[in-house]
Structure 1
Amino acid sequence: MDELPADAIYDLTRPTEITVSPDGDRVAFAASEADPDEDETHQSVFVVPADGSRDPHRLTRASGAGTIEWSPDGSKLGVVMVRDDDLSMRVGRDDEEDTGDGESVDGSESDADDEDDGAGPANGGDEPKPQVWAYDLELGGDARQVTERDEGVRDFDWGHGSERIVVSARDPTDEEREYIAQRRDDGPIETERLQHKYDGKGWLDTVTTYLFVVNIETREERRLDDATAGGIGGEGTGMQPAWHPDDDRIAYTTYEGTDGDDTYVQDVFVADAATGGIERVTDGEYAASSPVWSPNGDRLAFVGRAPDNLYVPFDVFVADLETGNYEAVTEGLDRTIGWFGMPAWIGDDRLLATIGDEGWSRFVEIGASGGTERVFGRQPRDETVRQFDTAGETVAMVRSDPSEGMDVYSLDLEDLGARRDGPDPRRRLTELNSGLLADYDHPETTRLTFESDDGTEIEGLVSYPPDFEPDDPDPRPTLLWIHGGPMAYDEPGFRLQTSFWTGRGYLVYNVNYRGSTSYGREFCEALRGEWNTVEVEDLLAGTETLVERGWTDPDRLFVGGFSQGGVNTAYVLTRTDRFTAGIAEHGVYDMRSAFGTDDSHKWFEHDFGLPWDEPEAYEAASSITDVDRIDTPLLLTAGEEDWRCPPTQSEQLYRSLRKRGVESKLVVYPGEHHNVGDPDRAIHRLETLGEWVARFDPERESETDGDGDS
């Protein structure tokens, strides 16, 4: 088959949100699609029967869709979306049926909570804002706009009775509105905030986010004056409101102290929608998130971890509001709760969640009083679960497979006990990528383990083209692609970028180095405050393993990564000249200067101390310190408005390499944050990566003109 082109991005459809109707009969999901004419990524919302008896029905295609939620009576579907009335219904390049898939529009990594378009008032933007829209699925017809807030809506939930919603939204004072108007006219940025930036939000102002109760028929709203957002973590969430199933209590997360810009603490509170009063549930011990009520309303589950240590697992906690007690019910599991699909109740005494379990996202059942059990053993280790939801007797999920794409599936709740050697009880509800999957080859993925220098066992994933035989290999060019985080993990799943490389004959090698989650606290915490140590040893040892097995051609060996993967790429290149060329994307290379220009100052303080107190720690974690040891050609990419890993970081490393005469190239994407979101730019990025590798690959360099930008 032909090599998968970079513009196959236009053929991708990626499920992003999923929710099951209260009776379990229907599944609603949102999916992203790239529009080649408008150079934008849009979100479509679909509804499909949970039994798979009909194809998905498209409700809308919007500029952006966030939270989607069924009303408690199942008659309506609420969606937070940015909607243009004249938006066409085009799908892909050929206006055909829904095709395509992927983990992000460009294969780069981005944080799940950084979905804002960055055009908010604090940045002088004047784009349409996200609002809550409601579809009446009994009467049919188009959605009805429920909110019309100047600053948009962050998040929402339905109230019992299905007649009201709670939303979180910014509500500026007159003085703040004047400042916002000045910013929209390119006025000066003024700040006295410690946390003055946040990736995806840009420059932060002082506008307060509140909870509002809104009547969906009259659109009348009431502000809960004491329920406000706070804390660094609050910048990346919408307070996550959760309405009690039977009364007027609303759970949410925030931080109430005066030092909100200097802490990751998030507490759980409960507000009364009738009186406006609030009650604290937790007492400042945790970075709490995702509160969810038990069906009978007696208990409240939430996710949390220590706020000063980002390397410890997220646990599930259950609070009894009558006694005021709460406890971690997954503490003995030593696995972090999955990034996709936060806990959901399956009865009054049990919860379902996904965990990261040795490079694999899988289901776990949790007792409300303690005790966990890994369930659905039928799921193979060569695929993964992304988003999920459950209601009634139905579980819906997004299944991701390296060679079969990402699709929505459902199964009966009772079938969570299915064993690996039995029939697969899942029902496939979508075929989002049939065209893309049929037109190009996609990789197989296998796991391998090896010992690092000190004997620690490390696991890696190798994705390879269909014509590669692991048991009788011929050495292949190999790209060591390093995951971000570092508190994350690689797992088998569909990635367009991986297919791009394997379609050109390359192996793609992902190593879950120490610092990765899903292997327990001790494994992850080994990297805390010790960057540029054990993770580099693990990456280099893994590389040698592939060479020794005869899988990798040592003369055609490349290394790259995005975010922390970019950070680690630079570390690796200060240690060895083993690699033919490198790709460092959206990384941090000078920790001292990053402390004052990015949005992660508190993380760095927890890891390394303050730069004026611990200069040696910052120097040791900065690859710029050892730039004189980098001789490998290096491509650097950055987002012009990336405040997680600012573009000045890439500029510093690029300038230093050029001064030393090292072949290097810098690509900065205007207006982009800690990802590359616009389809045209995502295509440019992937093409640029391919050209850079081909330029230095001794068997592909003739494909480029060779004069480059060095």
Structure 2
Amino acid sequence: MTSSASTPTTAAYGSWTSPVSAASLAGDRVALDQPSIDTGHVHWLEGRGSEGGRVVLVRDGVDLTPPPFNVRSRVHEYGGGAYTVAGDLVAFVDFADQRVRVLTVGAGEEPRAITPESDSRLRYADLRLDEGRRHLYCVREDHRGDGEAVAAIVRLEVDGDNADGGTVLVQGADFLSAPRLSPDGGRLAWLQWNHPNMPWDSTELWVADVTDSGTTGAKRVTGGQDVAVTEPRWSQDGDLLHLSDESGWSNLAAARTDGTVVALTAAEVELGWPQWVFDRPSFGTTDDGTIVCSWFDEGNGHLGTVVDGVVTALDLEGVAFDHVRVEGRTVVALVDRSDRSRAVVTVDLDRGVVEVVREESAFELPAGMLSTPELVSWTNSAGLTVHGAFHPPASAGFRAPDGELPPLVVRLHGGPTSMTVPAFSLDTAYWTSRGLAVLDVNYGGSTGFGRAYRERLLGQWGVVDVDDCATGAWAMAEQGRVDGDRLAIRGGSAGGFTTLAALTGTDVFAVGASYFGVGDLEALARDTHKFESRYLDRMVAPYPEGRDVYRERSPLHHLESLSAPMILLQGLDDRVVPPNQATEMAQAVRAKGLPVAHLEFAGEGHGFRKAETIVRAREAEAYFYARIFGYELADDVEPVEIDNG
């Protein structure tokens, strides 16, 4: 079906033709991450679906890491901090073997490994170069022994072979991160925490003197039980800047050279992000000591400065600002925008000039096709306010028949401590331009609204999040925005669990799509990686003492109450959520006689990276919705095998 923008065609919601194809989500699009600036050069990582998901380090638009190198760390499985630059010296982690390699820009040399072969049993992240001394500081995760991997902060010799895997500087805590060397090279700061805490629960900031053989005089500076300290950073005068949520909101603080710790801001706004990955900065300092930071205020993202304890937003386009780094009076950041794709940008603080360095996609929607998101809130069953963003259908070429309301896709972020922002994305436009509405839910447990909001999920995962999504969907239906009989829910990872829990625990949704979602919490508690191995102690209950709670919350054990079809999409190399969970869920739904589709993808892990996988998964999901909701999909897609369909 085609249409002219000047004379809209009347057609059912969901059946509209769209300029946003599934291939648009993976074709010329790249996934941008970890921008940085050094000696005036802007660097960033590009994940390229067209190259099988290979992540490339780019400098000023020129690739620094040639094929087949793939710049990704596997520490904590989520990685982060996989490269660092100092002048023309570059260090990075290659995903294939997890060895650290170095290269000199312009020298015409192949990257040289400086860590030993270990069959990926030695893994490195959060890299920091000390260029003058030719040292590299980083977090090392050692899988060579029995039991849990051992965390350490190590020092590598840039010009050595580091046959022992590096000089161990710090060890003993379950988890370590953020090794940061003082400007004079004499002291090392770091963060540490222990099971069952996650880094947004309870962390400690430590400092020690650096010696030739290691460190000495280690002492805790701040942090502790129920206080999350993140992002340590030395100032030029020796203060140790950091974020702390001791007040209930993540704000800036400084550990002075005299041993005192003082708050630099005290606003009811949220600075920083949950540290799922290493080296994700939200602030930096200019040469004159001005702090530039990003924050969230009721779901709105800002970038600004701190002067005399007051945060003042800069007049910039953007709804979220991530990976904020500062050099001189120039800021580089990863920015989400409301009308265009995510981009790496630089900001000249003196001239107020913003330059877009690289966009994730050059794709531009035709006039009239952009869905303008609206920040919304509603009340859940407990009478608490929940936040989200609503994206209505939008097409200049189509209108729906009189009286028809659109289907709604309730979309869940992962984590579950992440958050959603009202940003433009081709993912959203794929649905809205076809005539479906989208509701992004920042359910209780999400970041960006203070510690108390995030802690609503403690002991309540699978309860609070499900209720917040169900009440949000009904709120949109009761307000006449969407069709209450055509409500879908979709999510990946933790969002996949909430999707499955909503389909088994409520009768609100007519269909669901789970991407590598958790069906059996007990299996996840028994069979997952170190970083999250005790996560569920706080989110559900200690295990195995709380086994009954795990079974009660697991969708796989409540299929008797399931009344909605589902599609499950799973990578076969997933180390976070084992593929057998999707298999068991599909078998159970199939046995119950409900429509179910189960797609598996070889070579994909926890999150899809290959272009062909992204295309097939999205088209399969759209096909499934069309079959369940009863409209004719305009796209010519490969049919999906639907059991009981």
Q: What TM-score range do you get, normalising by the shorter chain?
A: 0.7 to 0.9
- How far does residue 556 in structure 1 lie from its aligned partner after superposition? 3.2
What does 1:202-601 align with in structure 2 at a 5 Å threshold? 204=149, 209-216=152-159, 225-229=167-171, 231-234=173-176, 239-254=177-192, 264=198, 265=203, 267-282=205-220, 285=224, 288-296=229-237, 298-303=238-243, 314-320=250-256, 322-326=257-261, 329-330=264-265, 333=268, 335-338=270-273, 340-347=280-287, 350-366=290-306, 371-379=309-317, 383-414=319-350, 425-431=353-359, 433-435=361-363, 443-467=371-395, 475-599=405-529, 600-601=532-533
- How far does residue 156 in structure 1 lie from its aligned partner after superposition? 2.4
Show the counterpart of 1:92: none
Confirm or deny: 8 A CA contact 1:268 1:291 kept in the other structure.
Answer: no
Q: How many residues align?
A: 595
Q: 2:32 aligns with which of 15, 18, 37?
A: 15
Question: RMSD over aligned Cα, in angstroms?
Answer: 3.8
Show the counterpart of 1:89: none
User: Aligned in 2, Cα 1:707/1:400: closer, same or farther, shift over 3 Å?
Assistant: closer
Distance in 1, matches of 2:466 and 2:140, equals 43
Show the counterpart of 1:673: 605
Secondary structure of the residue that 1:550 maps to in structure 2?
A: coil
Confirm or deny: 8 A CA contact 2:253 2:265 kept in the other structure.
Answer: yes
- How far does residue 163 in structure 1 lie from its aligned partner after superposition? 4.3
Task: Report whether the alignment pairs 1:131 with 2:100.
Answer: yes
Show the counterpart of 1:149: 116
Show the counterpart of 2:43: 28
Distance in 1, matches of 2:19 and 2:156, equals 52
- How far does residue 372 in structure 1 lie from its aligned partner after superposition? 4.4
User: Could you give the per-residue CA deviations for residues 543-563 of structure 1, whole angstroms, max 9, x where no partner exists?
Assistant: 223223433233433111112
User: Aligned in 2, Cα 1:697/1:612: closer, same or farther, shift over 3 Å?
Assistant: same
- How far does residue 411 in structure 1 lie from its aligned partner after superposition? 1.5
Confirm or deny: 8 A CA contact 2:115 2:163 kept in the other structure.
Answer: no
TM-score, with structure 2 as normaliser: 0.80
User: Aligned in 2, Cα 1:613/1:493: closer, same or farther, shift over 3 Å?
Assistant: same
Secondary structure of the residue that 1:529 maps to in structure 2?
A: coil
Amino acid at match of 2:189: A
User: Aligned in 2, Cα 1:473/1:222: closer, same or farther, shift over 3 Å?
Assistant: farther
Distance in 2, matches of 1:129 and 1:629, equals 45
Secondary structure of the residue that 2:178 maps to in structure 1?
A: coil
Confirm or deny: 8 A CA contact 2:490 2:512 kept in the other structure.
Answer: yes
Secondary structure of the residue that 1:526 maps to in structure 2?
A: helix
Q: 2:593 aligns with which of 654, 661, 679?
A: 661
- How far does residue 463 in structure 1 lie from its aligned partner after superposition? 2.4
Confirm or deny: 8 A CA contact 1:338 1:354 kept in the other structure.
Answer: no
Runs of 5+ unmatched residues, structure 1: 49-55, 83-116, 118-126, 180-190, 197-203, 416-423
Confirm or deny: 8 A CA contact 1:598 1:643 kept in the other structure.
Answer: yes
480-489 or 607-616: bigger deviation: 607-616
Q: 1:46 aligns with which of 58, 81, 87?
A: 58
User: Aligned in 2, Cα 1:312/1:32: closer, same or farther, shift over 3 Å?
Assistant: farther
Distance in 2, matches of 1:170 and 1:6, equals 37
Distance in 2, matches of 1:490 and 1:282, equals 34
Show the counterpart of 1:650: 582
Secondary structure of the residue that 1:291 maps to in structure 2?
A: strand
Confirm or deny: 8 A CA contact 1:312 1:524 kept in the other structure.
Answer: no
- How far does residue 698 in structure 1 lie from its aligned partner after superposition? 0.7
Amino acid at match of 2:154: L
Secondary structure of the residue that 1:570 maps to in structure 2?
A: helix
Show the counterpart of 1:158: 129
Confirm or deny: 8 A CA contact 1:240 1:252 kept in the other structure.
Answer: yes
Amino acid at match of 2:157: V
Amino acid at match of 1:390: V
User: Aligned in 2, Cα 1:455/1:498: closer, same or farther, shift over 3 Å?
Assistant: same
- How far does residue 510 in structure 1 lie from its aligned partner after superposition? 0.8
User: Aligned in 2, Cα 1:529/1:328: closer, same or farther, shift over 3 Å?
Assistant: farther
Q: State the percentage of identical aligned residues.
A: 19
Confirm or deny: 8 A CA contact 1:400 1:407 kept in the other structure.
Answer: yes
User: Aligned in 2, Cα 1:165/1:637: closer, same or farther, shift over 3 Å?
Assistant: same
Amino acid at match of 1:46: V
Amino acid at match of 2:407: P
Show the counterpart of 1:124: none
Distance in 2, matches of 1:576 and 1:588, equals 17
Confirm or deny: 8 A CA contact 1:582 1:635 kept in the other structure.
Answer: yes
Secondary structure of the residue that 1:65 maps to in structure 2?
A: coil
Distance in 1, matches of 2:228 and 2:404, equals 49
Secondary structure of the residue that 2:488 maps to in structure 1?
A: strand
Q: 1:699 aligns with which of 619, 628, 631?
A: 631
Runs of 5+ unmatched residues, structure 2: 1-16, 73-81, 275-279
Amino acid at match of 1:165: L
Secondary structure of the residue that 1:511 maps to in structure 2?
A: strand
Secondary structure of the residue that 1:426 maps to in structure 2?
A: strand
- How far does residue 478 in structure 1 lie from its aligned partner after superposition? 1.9
Distance in 2, matches of 1:31 and 1:220, equals 29
Distance in 2, matches of 1:459 and 1:254, equals 32
Show the counterpart of 2:90: 78
Distance in 1, matches of 2:613 and 2:606, equals 13
